[in-house]
Structure 1
Amino acid sequence: MRPERPETRLAPCARLPRGHRDRHIVHSSVDAFGRAHWLLTEDPPERRGTGPYDALVVTVGDGSHHETHLSAVLPWRPRLEALPDGGFVLAAARAAKNDGRQVQVFDPLGRPTRAFRVGDAIEHLLADRAGDLWVAYFDEGVFGDELSAAGLRRWSVTGEPRWAFSPVPGARWIDDCYALNVTGRTAWACPYAQFPLLEVGPDGVVRVRRNPVRGATAIAVHGERAVFFGGYGDDRDRLVDCRLTETSVEPVAETRLVLPGGALIGRNRTVSRGSRVHVQVEPWTEWYVLDLA
C-alpha cells in the first residue's frame, strides 16, 4: 500500500514551443546553466533507416528559444547534453565495444566535430560548467565493459579519460549508479547497493557520507541540505529531505513529489543540477523543477 505522505509540488520550468510539437522527441535535458533542450527529428527512429540523419535542437531559456540544426547525426536513439560553448553532445546509451561513434560532439553551428566511445550502459550523462562529461553507468556496462567498469567517470569533450571512481573507505565498487548530480565542477552520486552519498570534488577527491535512503534516482544539494527523489515500489514518488553532516545523511522529513496541479508524477525523466531536481513526464514537452534554493 502506498504510504500516506504530505505533498510537495513541482513548479513549471520550461516548455517546448507548440510549433515544434509535430516532430518526434528523441530526448530532452537541462544544462549546467538551467536551459532546457529538446532533440527532435522528423521521423521516429524505426522509420529513419540506419544511416546518418539530421536533427533539430530547440533550446528554451530566459523567456526565449532558439534552434540548432544538427547534420550527419550518428548515434541511434541518443541522449542529449549541451556544452558551455553552445555545442552539443549526443550519446547512445548502449554501445558495442568497437563502436567508435557512440558519442558525437557538435559545434555551436550544429556541425559534427568528433566521435568517440565512453563505454556501454550509460545511465546518466551530464556536462559540467567547464565542458567535461560526467558519465554514470548501469550494471550491464559495469559488469560487461572495461570502460564502464568504474561505474562513474569524467571524460574530456575530446574523449580523453580524466577521472574514474575507485573504492575508498566507506564506498566499495559501484554496481549501478542510480543518481548523479553535477554542479559547477563537483559531482554527487548515489550508487547501488549500499547507496552512500559520494561527493567528488574538482580534484577527484571523494568524500563519502553514510546514507539510509535507498533507491533514489535524483538528488538535489544545497549547503547542508539534500533531498532524494524516488525509490522502490510505492516509494517511486518519494521525496526525502535530509541534513548533511561531515560523515552521514540524516533524514528529516518525507513527502510525496507531485506535479504543479497535484497529479501523480508516474513515468518520468530527471536531471539533477545543484539545488535543483528537474522532472519531465510524458509526453515530454515540459520540464518541472524542485529548487532547494
Structure 2
Amino acid sequence: MRKTALVPHARLPRTYHSRHVLGSTVDAFGAAHWLLADRLPDPGADLPPYDALFVSVHDDGGAEVTELSAVRARWPHLGRLPDGGFVVASSRARRYEDGNQVQVFDALGRESWTFSVGDAIEHLLVDAAGDLWVGHFDENPLGIRRWSATGQIHEVLDHVPGVAWITDCYALNVSRSVAWACPYTDFPLLEIRPDQEMRVRTNTVRGAKAVAVHGNRVAFLGGYGEDHDRLAYGELTEASVEPTAAGRLTLPAGTPLGRRRVVGRGSRIYVQVEPYTAWCVFDLSG
C-alpha cells in the first residue's frame, strides 16, 4: 500500500517548550496556534481560572504571543479570530459553567464575551469570516452548528435529509468559504455553504477522522482498527464519493502516526503528534 509522508508546517518556538500544551489548532489562513500554561490541570479536581499564553506562528515563522487571564477551559478547543481576537472553549460544559463554556478575548487578551454552545465538543473551527463551526460527539448529539463570535447561532445541522440523525461529527473541515463533514453513522460527505442547501453525497469510507477536498477530489484520513492511518482517496460526483485509491499517511521520516490531533482546512489535513509542539501537513492539491 502506497505511503505518503507528511510535510513539516509550523513549530512552537523552543522558548516555550517548558510550558504545557493545553490545546493547539491551525486557522483558515494556515497560521498555527498554541495555548500554553505553567502546569496541566489535576484530573478530577475543580479547575480555578488560570493564566495562559496564546502563541501564534505565521507562515514566515514569526511568533506572536498574547497573555490571557482567567482562562477556565479544562480541555480546551481554541481559535483565532480575523480581528485578532481569541476563542477558548471547554470541550465539556459543566452545569456550573452555564453561559461560560466559550470565552472570547480581544486582541489584547481581555475577555469580551462568554456563552455556551453545548456539551461534548469534538471540533471547533473558526472560518475566515470569524464564525465558529462546532461539531459534537455522541455524548451530546447536537450535530453541527455555526455560531457568531458573540454567541448568536446562525446554523443548526442535526440530521441528514433522507439518511439519518448526526449522532457524532467524526470529521469536520472548514475552509475560508465552505465546510465539509463526515458524520456517524452512515458517514455521508456533507458540503455545507452558508445560506445554501446542504449537499449530501453517499460515501463508503467508514470512521475517517479528517477530510480534505480539492476540486472534485477528496481524501479521508483514519478509520477503525488498523485503518487509523489510512488515506483513502475518492472523486466527487453529484450524489456520491467514488473510491479511487488508498494508502497510508506517515510522519515526515516515514514512521507511523500513532496518537495525533488533526485539523481539516480545505485541501489540507494538518496533523500533530506528541508532544504537540509541531504541526505537519498533507495537501491534496499537491
Question: Does the pair score TM above 0.5?
Answer: yes
The answer as to whether partners of 1:198 and 1:208 remain within 8 angstroms in 2 is: yes
SS at structure 1 position matched to 2:232:
strand
The answer as to whether partners of 1:104 and 1:116 remain within 8 angstroms in 2 is: yes
Q: 1:233 to 1:69 in 2, by over 3 A?
A: same
Equivalences for 1:53-68 in 2 at 5 Å?
Answer: 53-61=50-58, 62-68=60-66
- Equivalent-residue separation in structure 2 for 1:21 and 1:51 (angstroms): 23
1:106 CA drift (Å): 0.6
Aligned equivalent of 2:47: 50
2:22 maps to 1:26: yes
Aligned equivalent of 2:92: 94
Aligned equivalent of 1:146: none
Q: 1:201 to 1:159 in 2, by over 3 A?
A: same
2:69 to 68, 71, 94: 71
1:173 CA drift (Å): 1.0
Q: 1:230 to 1:60 in 2, by over 3 A?
A: same
Aligned equivalent of 1:145: none
1:164 CA drift (Å): 0.3
1:204 CA drift (Å): 4.3
- How well do the aligned residues superpose, as a CA RMSD in angstroms? 1.4
Equivalences for 1:215-226 in 2 at 5 Å?
Answer: 215-226=207-218
1:117 CA drift (Å): 0.5
- Equivalent-residue separation in structure 2 for 1:202 and 1:185 (angstroms): 8
Aligned equivalent of 2:123: 124
1:154 to 137, 146, 151: 146
Aligned equivalent of 1:243: 235
2:195 to 203, 216, 219: 203
Q: Structure 1: which 5+ residue stretches go unaligned? A: 143-148
Equivalences for 1:262-281 in 2 at 5 Å?
Answer: 262-281=254-273
Aligned equivalent of 1:37: 33
The answer as to whether partners of 2:210 and 2:269 remain within 8 angstroms in 1 is: yes
The count of residues paired between Structure 1 and Structure 2 equals: 282
The answer as to whether partners of 2:173 and 2:263 remain within 8 angstroms in 1 is: yes
- Equivalent-residue separation in structure 2 for 1:205 and 1:53 (angstroms): 42
1:136-165 CA-partner distances (Å, limit 9, x unpaired): 0000011xxxxxx3x110011111111101
1:18-63 CA-partner distances (Å, limit 9, x unpaired): 1100001101100011000010011211299732211001111122
SS at structure 1 position matched to 2:223:
coil
Aligned equivalent of 1:177: 169
Q: Which amino acid aligns with 1:9?
A: A
